[in-house]
Amino acid sequence: MRIGIVCPYSWDVPGGVQFHIRDLAEYFIRLGHEVSVLAPADDDTPLPPYVVSAGRAVPVPYNGSVARLNFGFLSAARVRRWLHDGEFDVIHIHEPTSPSLGLLACWAASGPIVATFHTSNPRSRAMIAAYAILQAALEKISARIAVSEYARRTLVEHLGGDAVVIPNGVDVDYFARAEPKPEWQGETIGFIGRIDEPRKGLPVLMKALPKILAERPNARLLVAGRGDEEEAVETLPKELRSRVEFLGMISDEDKARFLRSIDLYIAPNTGGESFGIILVEAMSAGAPVLASDLPAFAQVLDQGAAGELFTNEDADTLAEAAVRLLGDPVRLKQLSRQGSAHVRRFDWSTVGADILSVYETVTAGAAAVATDERTGLRARFGLARD
């Protein structure tokens, strides 16, 4: 099958949607399909052989964050050329409502279109305001996927229609077989995310940290991600700042080793999350998880059975839960086992097969419609059957 996948966000700046698209493309390539991904990227950025650049992205406030998107006449021309050259059996557009390549591709494409909705935002005024513009594009979509029940609800409430829920995928074994890094071991708490993006929740964790360290004097926090490190610790007492180690951006290999090394992964995100791929990666690596009780996080963690939850934005309950868990190795091992078992449902062997089934359904439907149209034309003009 010839599969075209449209990524709305810049390939240069890593994020959950980009990782999902990358892994999905590579899963299908391993199965023998021909895959091309169109994504915003600087023209001089080294890209995987299956990624085509649609030009440089620009930062735009979107869904409580700053997304790097691509839109305009040049982008539209590159979209049309990519569609023409690809001759795809199916087009898979991610975030078709974002002001980026997904919407441009939806307008320009013909044939079977599958769309995945990642956003969870029950009060999106922008989506409501843009409904009339989006409707014509959305009517061309053959099948809709939402990465969670909360992303599905956002779609239904703002745009109508429905979607099948297929979660983000992860290569569970890749994380499970990573080698721990000795220097990252030893009563360590882990956090991965953009440091200067408030909704990722690092300020909440920093507020809880003095209480955690007072009870666990040998504990330390490892932070991986880009952002202003000095600003991140400015609320901490100076004598505690040495207990926080910033690793900057880390590779995929080091992320897996990081998650295999730490004693507890904390996800203090405050909102705007439709899924929580980092929770899935942490469970894949066997890391016990403590997360804010966002609905999407609670769903990923099986309502607290595969990881513990604390009250969103409440630093005190975060600190209490972290202290209790760090002092209870039996409970940590139990969470690790339960998370490792639960996370198998998110492996690409399951998620990829479900997405491929959607592709096969829409392409079979398109073939049936084409056959019916040809039959109708032959009947109308008295032509013989094939």
Amino acid 168 reads N
The Cα–Cα gap between 93 and 95 comes to 7
The Cα–Cα gap between 234 and 52 comes to 41
The confidence score (pLDDT) of residue 175 equals 98
The Cα–Cα gap between 283 and 160 comes to 34
What's the fold here for domain 2-169+347-380?
Answer: Rossmann fold (3.40.50)
The Cα–Cα gap between 172 and 259 comes to 12
The Cα–Cα gap between 61 and 50 comes to 28
Q: What is the DSSP string of 245-312?
A: EEEES--HHHHHHHHHH-SEEEE---S--SS-HHHHHHHHTT--EEEE--HHHHHHTGGGTSSEEE-T
Q: What is the DSSP string of 167-189?
A: ---B-HHHHHTPPP-GGG-SSEE
The confidence score (pLDDT) of residue 358 equals 97
Residues 340/306, Cβ–Cβ less than 8 Å: no
The pair of structure tokens assigned to 120 is 């969870």
> How far are the Cα atoms of 37, 112, 255, 344, 351 from residue 361, in angstroms, in the given order?
21, 10, 36, 25, 16
Question: Which stretches does DSSP call E strand in 7-141?
Answer: 34-39, 51-53, 58-62, 65-69, 90-94, 113-117
What is the torsion angle, in degrees rounded to the nearest 10, for the CA atoms of residue 122, residue 57, residue 275 and residue 61? -30
Q: Report the CATH number of the 173-344 domain.
A: 3.40.50.2000
R_g over Cα of the chain: 23
What's the angle, vertex CA 172, arms to CA 169 and CA 176, rounded to 5? 155
Residues 296/342, Cβ–Cβ less than 8 Å: no
The confidence score (pLDDT) of residue 154 equals 86
> How far are the Cα atoms of 71, 118, 263 from residue 220, in angstroms, in the given order?
43, 33, 10
**Of the candidates 105, 101, 102, 61, the residue with the CA atom closest to the CA atom of residue 83:** 105
Please list, in sequence order, all residues whose beta carbon lies within 8 angstroms of the beta carbon of residue 49, skipping any fewer than 6 positions away: none
The confidence score (pLDDT) of residue 386 equals 46
Q: What's CA 304's distance to the chain center, in Å?
A: 21
The Cα–Cα gap between 19 and 14 comes to 7
The confidence score (pLDDT) of residue 146 equals 95
Q: Tell me the three state secondary structure of residue 385.
A: coil
Amino acid 269 reads N
pLDDT values of the chain reduced to their tens digit, one per residue, 386 residues? 999 999 988 898 778 899 999 999 999 999 999 999 999 988 788 899 999 998 887 766 655 565 656 666 788 889 999 999 999 999 999 998 887 888 889 889 989 999 999 887 655 555 554 556 677 778 899 999 999 998 898 888 877 788 999 999 999 999 999 999 999 999 999 999 999 899 999 999 999 999 999 999 999 999 999 999 999 999 999 999 999 999 999 999 999 999 999 999 999 999 988 899 999 999 999 999 999 999 999 999 999 999 999 999 999 999 999 999 999 999 999 999 999 999 999 999 999 999 999 999 999 977 665 555 455 544 544 444 44
* 2-169+347-380 and 173-344 share one fold: yes
Order of strands, sheet of 143-146, starting from the edge strand that comes earlier in the sequence: 51-53, 34-39, 2-6, 90-94, 113-117, 143-146, 164-165
> pTM for the complete prediction?
0.85
Domain segments of the chain as ranges: 2-169+347-380, 173-344
The Cα–Cα gap between 384 and 386 comes to 7
The confidence score (pLDDT) of residue 132 equals 60
